[in-house]
Amino acid sequence: MSAAPILITGGAQRLGRHCAERLCDDGHPVIISYRRERPALDALRERGVITLPADFSSEAGIRDFITRLRDTTDALRAIVHNASDWLPDTLGEEAGANFEQLFRVHMLAPYLINLEAHDLLEACGEPLRDIVHMTDYVAAHGSRKHLAYAASKAGLENLTLSFAARYAPTIQVNAIAPAMIMLGEDDDEAYAEKARAKSALGTIPGPGVVYESLRYLLDSRYMTGVTLPLDGGRHLR
Ligand SMILES: NC(=O)C1=CN([C@@H]2O[C@H](COP(=O)(O)OP(=O)(O)OC[C@H]3O[C@@H](n4cnc5c(N)ncnc54)[C@H](OP(=O)(O)O)[C@@H]3O)[C@@H](O)[C@H]2O)C=CC1
Ligand SMILES: Nc1nc2c(c(=O)[nH]1)N=C([C@H](O)[C@@H](O)CO)CN2
């Protein structure tokens, strides 16, 4: 029996792509979701990564993805909920729509996918099955500029606890809560300096540290309902 694939949502770029590539390196079959087609996806496809389009900005879009996922595989080794929009807060007419957008991508999509793909995880022939939620340092600490984003990530962190209790003992459910891992393409050196100063370790580590945390969770057989803080000691500042 061939190994069951690992699903990473939002795997077309940055942290999700890095983890998809590293999982391939480690011999796992990988499925990613992506929202926007782009040439960079072809390199993943050439490595045998299955790429499924998904737009989690509506319940219909989430359910369309779930249908595509179920048409693609009859088992899953793990699900990594990585897809995310780092939207700042907006005022006025758009504030509610902004909040709902973040709720859907960070909470509704993981919630519905976890519920509807439970049998795919149970069908995995390997002893370990995992769900990993990518949350954020600000879920536990708040954010003055990303209030809705932080709240939606806090909701995802709470879903970690509930799904861990519901899916034990056959499926482990954990989260990774990063602080600054990698800069955005528009971030300048001044921003980078400020970001480095926020953590005790004073670095912007890059995506490798996220894969180390994911690997740890996937290889652990005695870890569930936990959020791994990956913040370089930001909580000490
Ligand atoms: N980067 C960092 O320093 C930090 C990251 N994190 C968390 O780690 C995870 C990865 O971060 P990063 O790689 O920077 O993430 P990105 O900002 O690069 O987003 C990842 C992917 O999410 C997809 N996505 C966004 N909105 C939607 C949607 N509505 N429906 C479907 N897909 C969507 C995008 O797809 P597409 O590009 O195809 O549109 C994008 O490629 C995220 O959950 C993030 O919140 C937490 C703290 C720090
Ligand atoms: N979906 C995303 N979420 C987050 C990003 C990002 O680029 N995409 N970036 C951050 C920042 O690095 C933040 O941690 C800096 O303090 C947070 N979330």
In this structure, is residue 80 part of a structural domain?
A: yes
- For 139-185, write each residue's pLDDT tens digit: 999 999 999 999 999 999 999 999 999 999 999 999 999 999 999 99
**Nearest residue CA, atom 8 of ligand 2?**
86
- For 118-150, write each residue's pLDDT tens digit: 999 999 999 999 999 999 999 999 999 999 999
**Nearest residue CA, atom 13 of ligand 2?**
180
In this structure, is residue 151 part of a structural domain?
A: yes
**Nearest residue CA, atom 10 of ligand 2?**
180
The complex scores an ipTM of 0.99
In this structure, is residue 237 part of a structural domain?
A: no
Name the pairing type of β-strands 6-8 and 30-34: parallel
Residue 28: CATH number of its domain: 3.40.50.720
In this structure, is residue 221 part of a structural domain?
A: yes
In this structure, is residue 1 part of a structural domain?
A: no
In this structure, is residue 32 part of a structural domain?
A: yes
pLDDT value, residue 1: 62
The stretch 203-221 carries a mean pLDDT of 98
Instruction: Indicate the residue type of 2.
Output: S
The stretch 219-230 carries a mean pLDDT of 98
Q: What are residue 8's phi and psi, to 5 degrees?
A: -120, 120
The residue whose CB lies within 8 Å of the most ligand 2 atoms, and thus the one to mutate among 105, 136, 138, 196, is: 136
- For 1-45, write each residue's pLDDT tens digit: 689 999 999 999 999 999 999 999 999 999 999 999 999 999 999
- Band of residue 210 on the pLDDT scale cut at 50, 70, 90: very high
Q: Which secondary-structure segment (H or E) carries 197?
A: helix 189-197
Q: Give Cβ neighbours of residue 199 (< 8 Å, ≥ 6 apart).
A: 179, 180, 231, 232, 233, 234, 237
pLDDT value, residue 2: 83
136 pocket-lining for ligand 2 (C-beta < 6 Å): yes
In this structure, is residue 79 part of a structural domain?
A: yes
The angle subtended at Cα 51 by Cα 45 and Cα 52, nearest 5°, is: 160
In this structure, is residue 153 part of a structural domain?
A: yes
Q: Which atom of ligand 1 is nearest to the CA of 106?
A: 43
175 pocket-lining for ligand 1 (C-beta < 6 Å): no
Rounded to two decimals, what is the model's pTM?
Answer: 0.98
Structurally, how many domains does the chain consist of? 1
The stretch 54-75 carries a mean pLDDT of 98
Mean predicted lDDT score pLDDT of the chain? 97
Q: Which domain holds residue 14?
A: 6-231
